[in-house]
Structure 1
Amino acid sequence: MNSVSPFRDPAAPGNPVIPRQDWDRAPWNRWTFQHVRDLLPTTQVWRGPGPVSHLPTDLRDIDAITFAAEGRACTVGSFLESNYADGFLVLHGGKIVAERYMNGMTSRTQHLSQSVAKSVVGTVAGILIDRGVVNPAAPLTHYLPELEATAYRGATVQHVLDMTSGVVFDETYTALDSHMAQLDAASGWKDHRNPNWPKSVWDLILSLKDLECPHGTSFRYRSIETDVLSFVLQRATATSLADLVSRELWAPMGAEEDAYFTVDAAGYSLGDGGFNATLRDYARFALLHLRGGEIDGKRIVSNEWLAGTRFEADPTLFGGIYHEVLPTGAYHNQFWIEDTVHGVYMARGVFGQLVYIDPTADFAAVVLSSWPEFVSTARTQTTLAAVRAIRGALGS
């Protein structure tokens, strides 16, 4: 069962101080994922001056829906109670059919999405590609000539969209000397364990000099690829990432609340995982995708680009440990593809963040969590089984 966090108000007398190096770890993350701007430097993603897009509600009782997980029968209600969920929302037929807030979260709470941010950045990239501002076939050095001196020399924008560059980047979350540990420090999330580590995300990108395979030959999950993409978007538009997301996505889609990014010492918004928003605004993001790039009659991203994201991924580049959760999966344009036949796709983040999108069934689910583990195959499989069971019960 989920425990009640003793860290909900760390300023209260007698409560422990959240450790700087472990703020995103259990048990602290039960509080911190809803209060990131109280801990780190951030920048606003303005919702704009326009109207809020409509989210009609038709609530259903979904708690008794059953599914199998780890060889036993479960219910959606027991799943929500036992899997460290903070927010949960289901869309079907363009309406909210389930909406839950747990662990102190409210409808106005901005929750850290971790790598769901990658899909937000990927969607903005799609908007700019549609407009001809960014060419996915162009070499990265066309936009960022500084990368000629790195292992990204010869890689294209599409390679980082798909995380198929051959650049060495150790994503190990728990290792103290991995590239991921350096990224935590460079982004401002953690203190530098080594004074020689890069001081900003850009500096870290410039330090990547080694290749593990030729560009375009294999998918390897590298968070830094989203940051490379973000710098391409910034350079191509002479606009900061936070302002780009606001101008091209958040304001046009009619977000109800501002979102925000964490920023590094150089003021860069962390595109690979620093995005925070409310549950309903993540649902609007999902609805935009369900509606083929339109929301409230407003075209934001082309249906052609979204269809390409869903159906044009190359599953032959996807394998190894990634098959444990998505045995027929793929990765394309900063989204995880459940399979390229049905075109179900998703945004995922460590510690249990998920935006699941099935346009054919007109169904989406948003799960915001604060798991005790960075990654858990069992919890991910359980979450996907619960979401699929809800989809089935709704008649899709």
Structure 2
Amino acid sequence: MSAAAGVVAAIASGLANGSWNVPTKSQAPRCLHAGEVWKWENIWFLFNAMLPFINTAFVVAVVGAETLGTIYGNAESSELWAICASSLLWGFGGVGFGQAVKRCGIALGTSICMAVIIALGTALPAIVEAENLTTAQAVGTSVGASLGIVGFALGAKAGLIRDAGAAAEAEAEAEAKAKILSVEDAAAAAAPAPAGAANDGISISEVGVHAGGEMQVTSGAATTTADAAATRRRIFAADIAWCLLGGVLSSMLQFAFVFGGGLVDVARDAGVSKVAAAMPIWLLCFLGNAFGHLAYSCAELTSNDAWGLFASADRKTTAKSSALCVAMAVGMPFHIHTYGIAAVLMGDAGAVFAWPVVMSSTVFTAQLWSVFLREWDGAPREAIRCNAASLVVLVSSVLVVSVCSFY
């Protein structure tokens, strides 16, 4: 029964994780968008400034300040250091994750990050808890995690096809407009100049108009196209780098939970209930997590001269955007706490099973949001088919891992 409750908690964690950052998206409905006046960095700063306070207040209310003092006093110093160090890295991973979503969209950015996160986050506890896994569980978890990675890859492919189609359509439209302008310019150049008018050093022979009236393509246009393609490749490489950085460092949350897992036993010995036993870990994690996020958002606010936007909106807009940041600061810890509950309820090796379920559910939810936010409107059919296949594979991943956790 506890394992089944753990599966439900893991899925709920994924639903929350795929939804809490929707207010940062410009495609979000007006009632859910926090950026009517603020930029991304304004939202990210306020969200991360409130996050540790909201999470700390929640943990203290549930566990109790005196009990927390007892838990930390009885914990191994090496475990506390492992949690704090991993949390700092996790914070900078969140910066990469946020940038990945901002640059690549919810579907593609989340998919690539999650492929890295699920691979590292599943492999680590599986190695540490190998002796507690049955053969069926080890095989099932490996298959489920692999399905998750395939689902992420399909989602990424769908996003790339969609973006390539949009880029090709925009380029074709730009070329068509350029051709019309070229013909008009050529016709104007071919017309007799008024008496005494200067031709600015341009001769008719240099214009090169064909009999059909089309402008001859010059080497300069080809160079411009090549430069644009090179720029797109550089931008794409930078986007992928952010995704990989976000994925690797975001996995540090799992490292904090695995290497600081002894804190759960200390909490249980101190009288904390089973479902709340991981909360002392998450309190430290969110305190460490704030440094990276706040440092990066402050740098962005300064470089983009966006500090003044906090005071530029009217009271109603500011209140609404602030309320959405509060909702984000509640949704994010909800995701983490329900993951901790799932891992504890699913047994000694619960982190092995809960992690891939949470991550696959996260991407499934993000994909659904991307459809709701109309990110796929006008996308090629192949992209839509890949996205649908991604959803099916992700559901399969959740089912496989959930079932194998009972054996």
TM interval, short-chain normalised: under 0.3
Higher strand fraction: Structure 1 or Structure 2?
1
TM-score, normalising length from structure 1? 0.24
Higher helix fraction: Structure 1 or Structure 2?
2
Structure of higher RCO (CA pairs closer than 8 Å, 6+ residues apart): 2
